[in-house]
Amino acid sequence: MKFFDCNVCFGRPMIRPIRFAETAKDLLKEMDFYGIDEALVFHSRQRDDSPVVGNEILLNEIKDVERLYGTFAILPPQTGEMDSFEDLLEKMRLGNIRAFRAFPSEHKFLMTRVALGSLYDFMIERNIPLFIPINESCGGISGWYLIEQILSNAPDLTLVVVEHGSWGQDRFFRPLIEKYENLYLDISRYELDGGISDFCAKYGAERLLFGTGYPWWNPGGPILMLTQADVTTREREKIASGNLKRIFGRVRI
Amino acid sequence: MRSSQIVREFMENGKSKTCPVIDMHTHLGPYQGIYFPNPSPEDMIRTMDRCGVTMAVSSSHAALIDSRENIKMVDTVKRYPDRFRAYWVINPNYPEDIEEEIRQFSKAEGFVGFKFLSDYHRYPVTSPRYEPALKYADEHGLIVLLHTWGYSSYDSPKLVEKIAVRYPNAVFLMGHSGYGEWEKAIQVARDNLNVYLELTAAYAVNGVIEWMVREAGSEKILFGTDLPWFDPHYGIGCIIFSRITDEDRHNILHRNAEQLLQRFI
C-alpha cells in the first residue's frame, strides 16, 4: 500500500520538537524509515515566521525534490503581503505547490468572508484545498466553531482539518461532515478504537486522509492503525493515498 | 525498519506470534465526553484479538465517577478470567467510604491494585485521603495506576516521586508518563525501583519512546491505551516504529507487565 502523507512539517521549529527533519533531504530519509512514499509538506518557518518569508523558504527547499508537494501559508489579501492570485498560481505551478494552509493564531487574521472572501472564492474556483490544524483560533473563535465558521462562509471550499485530537471529537465533527461534502479529516490523531471503520461504514472512506503530523507526532501510530483498520482494501487505499490524489487531481493551477 | 520480525508481523497480521501485548491501562463502558464504537467487554475483546492483546487491566468508567461501581468489575473478570484484571478506583471525594472499599477490595477476586484519577477527582496524590489505600498497597505489594500529567498540582511526576519514596513496596504506574513533563517523569522512573512509565497517549509524541528507553531503560516502560478510547494498533505502531531494539519492544509490550502481573494471574 502506498502512503501519501497530507500533514508533514520540516525545518527547525522555534519550539524544538524531540525529533525533527531540518531539510527536505532529512525528511525524505525519515519518510523512507516509515515507508511513506509521498508527502504534502510545509516548512516550520511558514508558521513560526511571516508566511512571506516562509513560503519562499519552502519553494527553495522542495525545488526539484521528488515525492514532496508544498503548501502555501495564507494571509488576508488586503495587506498586500501575499502575491497576487496570478503570481501565486505561477509560483504554485513552478514549485509543486498543491494546497494552502492557514495559521490564523500565529499570523493574526480573521477567517471571515470579509477578510478572506476573495481568497476563498479563488480557492473554490481552482479547487485548491485549504488545510487547517484544529488547534488554531482567531478572533475568539477556535476549534470546531472556527471550522463551522469557515465552511458557512465558504460552503464549497475543500477544507482539510488536521490533528483533530484523540480525546473524543466525533460528536463535534460528524454534524459538519454531514452538512459539508468538501470537508475532510486527516487521521494523524484519530486514535479512537474502531473510529475509522465506524466512520467509513457511515460516511464512506472518501473523507479521510492519511496524515502523520510529523515531526510532533509519531508516524508509526497512524501507519499501523490504517494498515490494520477493519475496512476493505479499497477503502484503506483511498485513505492512504487515493483521496489526496483525487483532491490534487481536481486542482487547477 | 522492516527487518524487525515484530514490525513485519504486526504490519502483515495485526499481531505477533512472538510478541504478545498486555495493556496495563484500560477502562470499560461508555463515558461522558466521547463517543465509543466499542465500549463493552465483548467489543474490547474483539479489538484485543485483532491486535494481539492477551490481557487488559481495567477500571470501569462508571467506577471513575462512582466508586460503588467498582464491584461490578468482579463480574467482568469472572466472565473473562483469561482476558481481564481490574483496578479498584479510589475516589478521595468520599473519604468516609474508603475504608469499606478497601475491605471489599481485599475480598474481591481479579483486582491487582488501585486506580487514582487525581486530576479529575481534584485531590493530590499526596493527600491524606489516599493514605489508607496507599498503606494497604504498600503492605501487600499492590499495583497503583495513577493518572499523571506534567506540571499538574494533583499528579505531576514530582508528586508521584514523593509517594513512591514513602511507600516503597507499592508499585506505581505513571499513567500517561506524566504527559509533557518528560524529563522529570523519566528521572522518577529511573531513580525509583517501584515506579514505571505507562505509555497511554504519551506514545504519540514523536521521539519520546526512544528518550525513555535511553534514559530510564525499556524495563521501566509499560504499554497502555485507555481502551476503549484508543486503538491499540495506534499505540503499538508508535512503539514498533520507534528506533529501539526488538528486546526493548518485547519489554514494553509484554515482558514487564508479565512480571508485574505474575502473582495476579
Asked if A249 reaches chain B (Cβ–Cβ under 8 Å), the answer is no
Please compute the mean of the pLDDT values over residues B1-26 and round it to a whole number.
94
Overall average pLDDT of the A23-47 stretch: 98
* CA-based nearest distance B255→chain A, Å: 21
Among residues B191, B128, B136, which one has the least CA distance to residue B158?
Answer: B191
DSSP annotation of A16 = P
Which of B34, B233, B253 is the best substitution to test chain A (most A C-beta atoms within 10 A)? B233
Helix, coil or strand: residue B216: coil
Best residue of A10, A191, A199, A203 to probe chain B, by most B CBs closer than 10 Å: A191
| Nearest chain A Cα distance for residue B25, angstroms | 14
Which residue, among B82, B249, B264, has the nearest Cα to B171 in the 3D structure? B264
| Cell matching residue B7 | 514490525
- For B123, other C-beta atoms within 10 Å of its C-beta total 21
8 A C-beta contact, residue A191 and residue A212: no
Across the interface, do A220 and B240 touch by the CB < 8 Å criterion? yes
From the list A18, A191, A229, which residue is nearest B205 (CB)? A18
Minimal Cβ distance to B201: which of A166, A193, A223: A166
Q: Give contacts of A222 with chain B, Cβ < 8 Å.
A: 234, 237
Taking CA atoms, B103 is separated from A89, B107, B132, B242, in Å, by 72, 7, 11, 43
Question: A224–B236: do the CB atoms touch at under 8 Å?
Answer: yes
Q: Give me the phi and psi of A187, to 5 degrees please.
A: -105, 15
ipTM reported for the complex, 2 dp: 0.97
Q: E strands within A19-176?
A: 38-43, 68-73, 97-101, 130-133, 137-138, 141-142, 159-162
Q: How near does any CA of chain A get to the CA of B201, in Å?
A: 9
CB contact, 8 Å: A168 with chain B? yes
Say yes or no to pLDDT of B1 above 70.
no
Name all domains of chain A by residue range, CATH numbers in brackets: 4-250 (3.20.20.140)
Q: What are B228-248's pLDDT values in tens digits? A: 999 999 999 999 999 999 999
In this predicted structure, the answer to whether residue A165 has a pLDDT above a threshold of 90 is no
Burial of B182 (C-beta count, 10 Å sphere; 0-12/13-18/19+): buried
Give which of B234, B240, B242 to mutate to test A binding, by max A Cβ within 10 Å. B234
The predicted-structure confidence for A81-125, as pLDDT tens digits, reads as follows 999 999 999 999 999 999 999 999 999 999 999 999 999 999 999
pLDDT value of position B226: 98
Residue type, A227: T
What is the Cα–Cα distance from A76 to A65, expressed in whole angstroms?
Answer: 29
Which pLDDT band, with edges at 50, 70 and 90, does B196 fall under?
very high
Q: Which among B14, B230, B240 has CB closest to A193?
A: B230
Contacts of A31 in chain B (CB under 8 A): none
Per-residue pLDDT band for B157 (boundaries 50, 70, 90) equals very high
A123-143 pLDDT tens trace:
999 999 999 999 999 999 999
Q: Which residue of B has its CA nearest to A166?
A: B230
The CA distance from A13 to A47, in Å, is 9
Residue B2: the pLDDT is 67
CA atoms A83, A84, A85, A88: torsion sign:
negative
How far apart CA B238 and CA B255 sit, in angstroms, is 18
Contact B240 A166 (CB under 8 A): no
Q: What pLDDT does B3 receive? A: 81
A191 vs B contacts (CB less than 8 Å): 204, 229-231, 234
Helix runs in chain B, H state only:
5-13, 41-51, 61-65, 73-79, 95-107, 118-121, 131-140, 157-166, 182-191, 208-215, 232-240, 246-250, 256-261
Q: B228: which chain A residues are within 8 Å (Cβ-Cβ)?
A: 193-194
B160-165: Cβ within 8 A, 24+ apart: B160/B125, B160/B188, B160/B195, B161/B188, B161/B191, B161/B192, B161/B195, B162/B125, B162/B126, B163/B125, B163/B126, B163/B130, B163/B134, B164/B188, B164/B192, B164/B194, B164/B195, B165/B192
Average pLDDT of chain A, as a whole number: 97
User: How far is the alpha carbon of B107 from chain A, nearest alpha carbon, in Å?
Assistant: 33
Of B37, B207, B230, the CB nearest to A18: B207
- Domains detected in chain B: 5-264 (3.20.20.140)
pLDDT tens-digit map of B39-78: 999 999 999 999 999 999 999 999 999 999 999 999 999 9
The answer to whether the Cβ–Cβ distance between A224 and B241 falls below 8 Å is: yes
Residues A73, A250: Cα–Cα separation, whole Å:
20
